[in-house]
C-alpha cells in the first residue's frame, strides 16, 4: 500500500468521522432544540394559567367593588364597605399591572396570551353578597394565587420569567395577609385608611429590575424617631 | 466485509459519535450548572447571611418590645408585638435551615451564624416604634433580595425556595408597614388571641414535606345572609 493510499484512507476516515460528528451534533442540537421548544410550551402554559387567574381576579374585584361601595344598611359589615372598596380598587389595579407584565412573557415563550374577554368569574356556590363574605372570598383567592405563583417557580425555565413571577407572587401574599387579618378581625382600617390607600400594599411588584418604579425598590425606608 | 457488516459498523460508529456528542452538548448546555463550584452556592449563602442577621436583629429588638421603657408612646403594644416578633424570628430560623440544606445539597458550605453580627443603624434608639421600623425596613430589603436572587439562581428548585421564602418576608413587611403607616390598626378584640395568625405560616407553599405553607391554612367559609 502506498503512502498515497494511506493518506487517502486517513482523509476518508477523518472526513467520515467529521461527518459523523457533524451528524451527531446536528441530531443533538435538534434534540436540545426540541427540549427547548417543549420547555417553552410548558412555560407558556404555566404563564397563561397565571394570566387567566389575574383576569379572573380583576373580574371578581369588579363584582365585589360594586357591592362594597354601597352595601345595604342591613349588612352587619356595612360600615367597613367603603374602606374595603378602596382596598379592593387598589388590589384590582395591581392585578391589572400583573396581567400586563405576564402578557409579554407568554408571548416570549411562544404562546398566545389568553384573551381577557374569554375569562369569566363565577362566584363560589353558597356565596351570598356581604362585606364579610367578599373579604373572605378575596382572601381565599389571593391565597390561592400566592400558592400558584410560588409553585410555578418549580418549573419555569427562564430566570427572567421567574423574576417577574416571584415579584408578583410576593405581592399576592401581601394582598392575602391584609385581607386575612381583616377577615379574622385581627386588624381593622386605621386612621389613615381613607387618605393613604396607596400605602396598603404600596407597589405592584416586589422587585423587577427593569421596573423599579413599580417595585418595593422605590418605597422609601421608614425613618426612626428620636 | 459484507454490506450488512459495513452498515452495522457504520451504525455503531455513528451511534457512538452521536451519543458522545450528545453527552458533550448535554454537559455544556443541557443544564444550567457550569463546571466548578455551583454558582447558586454564593447566592444562597448571601440570603442565609441575611437570615442570620434578621434573627439577630429580632433578638436585639425583643427586649424593647417585652419591656418598653416608661413613657414609650407604644408601650401598651409592646407585649403583643413581642409575641409576634418571637414568632417571626422562628420563621426566619426555619428559612435559614431550609437555605442551609439547599446549600449543602449542591456541595456548598453554609455561612456560619457566628460570622454575622447585627449592628443597629445610626440614629436608632430603642423604642417600640423604632424596633418596628427597623424590622419593616429589613423585611422589605429581604423581600427585594430574595426576588433578585430568583433572577440570579440557576436551578429552578433553588428559585422555588427563594420565592417561597420571599412570600413570607413580604407578609412580614406589609404587616409592619401598614401598621406603621396607620392604614390598618390592630383590633383590640382580636389581636390578643390572634397573634399566631399574624403571618400564619413560614412558607407560601408547604416545604420539605411539612404543613408549613399557606396551603395548610384553611379557606374561609362563607356566612349566610
DSSP conformation letters of A180-216: HHHHHTSEEE-TTTTT-GGGSS--SBS--TT-GGGBG
Q: Residue A187's beta-bridge partner residues?
A: B186
Q: Which range is least confidently modeled, A14-28, A39-53, B2-16, B117-131?
A: B2-16
Q: Compute CA distances B54 → A73, B90, B134, whole Å.
A: 46, 10, 10
Q: Are B174 and A128 within 8 A, CB to CB? A: no
Q: Are B143 and A170 within 8 A, CB to CB? A: yes
Q: Are B143 and A221 within 8 A, CB to CB? A: no
Q: What is the distance of C-alpha B99 from the center of its chain?
A: 8
Average pLDDT of chain A is 90
By Cβ distance, the residue of A174, A193, A208 closest to B183 is: A193
- If contacts are CB pairs under 8 Å, which of residues 36-95 in chain A contact chain B? none
Size of interface A-B (CB pairs under 8 A): 255
Q: Are A183 and B225 within 8 A, CB to CB? A: no
With the C-alpha atoms ordered B151, B42, B159, A30, is the resulting torsion angle positive or negative?
positive
8 Å CB contact between A114 and A176: no
pLDDT of residue B224: 84
Cell of B52: 442570620
Q: What is the chain A residue with the closest CA to B200?
A: A177
Q: Compute CA distances A27 → A6, A161, B14, whole Å.
A: 31, 28, 11
Q: Is the pLDDT of residue A209 over 80?
A: yes
- If contacts are CB pairs under 8 Å, which of residues 135-154 in chain B contact chain A? 136-137, 140, 143-144, 146-148, 150-154
pLDDT tens across B155-186, in order?
Answer: 999 999 999 999 999 999 999 999 999 999 99
* C-beta atoms surrounding A73 within 10 Å: 8
Q: For residue B184, give the 3-state DSSP assignment.
A: strand
Q: What is the chain A residue with the closest CA to B22?
A: A28
Distance from CA of A159 to the nearest CA of B (A): 5
Cell of A163: 423574576
Instruction: Establish if B63 touches chain A: CB-CB under 8 angstroms.
Output: no
Instruction: Establish if A25 touches chain B: CB-CB under 8 angstroms.
Output: yes
Residue A87 and residue A7: Cα distance in Å, rounded?
Answer: 82
Q: Are B25 and A28 within 8 A, CB to CB? A: yes
Q: What is the chain B residue with the closest CA to A221?
A: B137
pLDDT of residue B225: 62
Cell of B87: 414568632
Instruction: Establish if A128 touches chain B: CB-CB under 8 angstroms.
Output: yes
Instruction: Establish if B54 touches chain A: CB-CB under 8 angstroms.
Output: no
Residue ranges for chain B with pLDDT beneath 70: 1-34, 225
Please list every residue in chain B whose beta carbon sits closer than 8 Å to the beta carbon of residue A200.
Answer: 178, 183-184
pLDDT of residue A38: 85
pLDDT of residue A125: 86
Please list every residue in chain A whose beta carbon sits closer than 8 Å to the beta carbon of residue B184.
Answer: 178, 181-182, 187-190, 193, 200
Instruction: Establish if A125 touches chain B: CB-CB under 8 angstroms.
Output: no
Q: Residue B148 is inside which H or E element, if any?
A: helix B128-152
Residue B48 and residue B55: Cα distance in Å, rounded?
Answer: 11
pLDDT tens across A56-105, in order?
Answer: 999 999 999 999 999 999 999 999 999 999 999 999 999 999 999 999 99
Residue A201 and residue A219: Cα distance in Å, rounded?
Answer: 10
Q: Are A223 and B224 within 8 A, CB to CB? A: no
Best interface-test mutation with B: which of A28, A84, A204, A217 has the largest number of B CBs within 10 A?
Answer: A28
pTM: 0.86
Q: A16 or A113: which carries more pLDDT confidence?
A: A113
pLDDT of residue A126: 81
Amino acid at each position: 500500500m502506498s503512502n498515497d493510499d494511506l493518506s487517502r484512507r486517513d482523509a476518508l476516515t477523518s472526513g467520515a468521522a467529521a461527518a459523523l460528528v457533524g451528524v451527531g451534533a446536528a441530531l443533538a442540537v435538534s434534540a436540545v432544540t426540541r427540549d427547548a421548544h417543549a420547555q417553552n410550551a410548558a412555560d407558556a402554559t404555566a404563564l397563561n394559567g397565571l394570566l387567566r387567574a389575574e383576569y379572573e381576579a380583576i373580574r371578581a374585584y369588579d363584582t365585589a367593588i360594586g357591592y362594597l361601595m354601597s352595601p345595604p344598611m342591613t349588612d352587619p359589615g356595612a360600615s367597613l364597605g367603603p374602606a374595603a372598596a378602596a382596598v379592593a380598587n387598589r388590589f384590582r389595579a395591581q392585578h391589572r399591572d400583573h396581567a400586563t407584565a405576564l402578557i409579554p412573557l407568554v408571548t416570549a415563550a411562544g404562546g398566545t396570551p389568553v384573551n381577557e374577554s374569554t375569562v369569566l368569574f363565577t362566584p363560589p356556590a353558597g356565596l351570598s353578597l356581604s362585606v364579610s363574605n367578599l373579604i373572605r372570598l378575596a382572601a381565599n383567592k389571593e391565597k390561592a394565587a400566592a400558592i400558584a405563583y410560588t409553585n410555578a417557580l418549580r418549573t419555569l425555565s427562564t430566570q427572567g420569567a421567574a423574576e417577574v413571577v416571584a415579584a408578583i407572587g410576593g405581592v399576592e401574599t401581601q394582598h392575602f395577609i391584609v385581607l386575612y387579618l381583616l377577615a379574622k378581625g385581627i386588624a381593622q382600617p386605621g386612621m389613615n385608611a381613607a387618605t393613604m390607600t396607596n400605602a396598603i400594599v404600596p407597589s405592584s411588584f416586589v422587585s423587577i429590575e427593569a421596573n423599579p418604579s413599580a417595585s418595593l425598590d422605590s418605597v422609601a425606608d421608614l425613618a426612626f424617631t428620636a | 466485509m459484507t454490506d450488512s457488516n459495513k452498515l452495522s459498523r457504520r451504525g455503531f460508529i455513528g451511534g457512538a459519535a452521536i451519543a458522545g456528542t450528545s453527552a458533550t452538548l448535554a454537559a455544556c448546555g443541557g443544564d444550567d450548572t457550569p463546571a466548578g463550584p455551583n454558582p447558586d452556592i454564593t447566592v444562597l449563602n448571601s440570603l442565609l447571611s441575611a437570615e442570620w442577621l434578621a434573627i439577630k436583629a429580632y433578638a436585639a429588638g425583643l427586649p424593647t418590645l417585652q419591656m418598653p421603657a416608661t413613657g414609650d408612646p407604644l408601650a401598651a403594644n409592646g407585649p403583643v408585638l413581642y409575641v409576634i416578633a418571637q414568632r417571626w424570628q422562628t420563621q426566619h430560623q426555619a428559612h435559614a435551615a431550609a437555605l442551609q440544606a439547599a446549600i449543602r445539597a449542591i456541595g456548598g458550605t453554609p455561612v456560619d451564624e457566628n460570622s454575622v453580627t447585627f449592628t443597629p443603624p445610626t440614629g436608632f434608639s430603642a423604642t417600640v416604634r423604632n424596633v418596628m421600623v427597623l424590622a419593616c425596613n429589613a423585611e422589605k430589603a429581604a423581600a427585594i433580595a430574595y426576588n433578585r436572587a430568583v433572577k440570579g439562581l440557576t436551578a429552578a428548585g433553588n428559585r422555588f425556595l427563594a420565592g417561597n421564602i420571599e412570600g413570607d418576608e413580604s407578609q412580614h413587611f406589609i404587616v409592619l408597614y401598614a401598621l406603621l403607616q396607620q392604614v390598618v390598626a390592630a383590633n383590640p378584640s382580636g389581636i390578643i388571641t390572634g397573634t399566631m395568625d399574624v403571618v400564619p405560616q413560614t412558607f407560601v407553599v408547604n416545604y420539605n414535606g411539612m404543613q408549613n405553607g399557606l396551603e395548610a391554612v384553611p379557606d374561609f367559609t362563607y356566612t349566610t345572609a
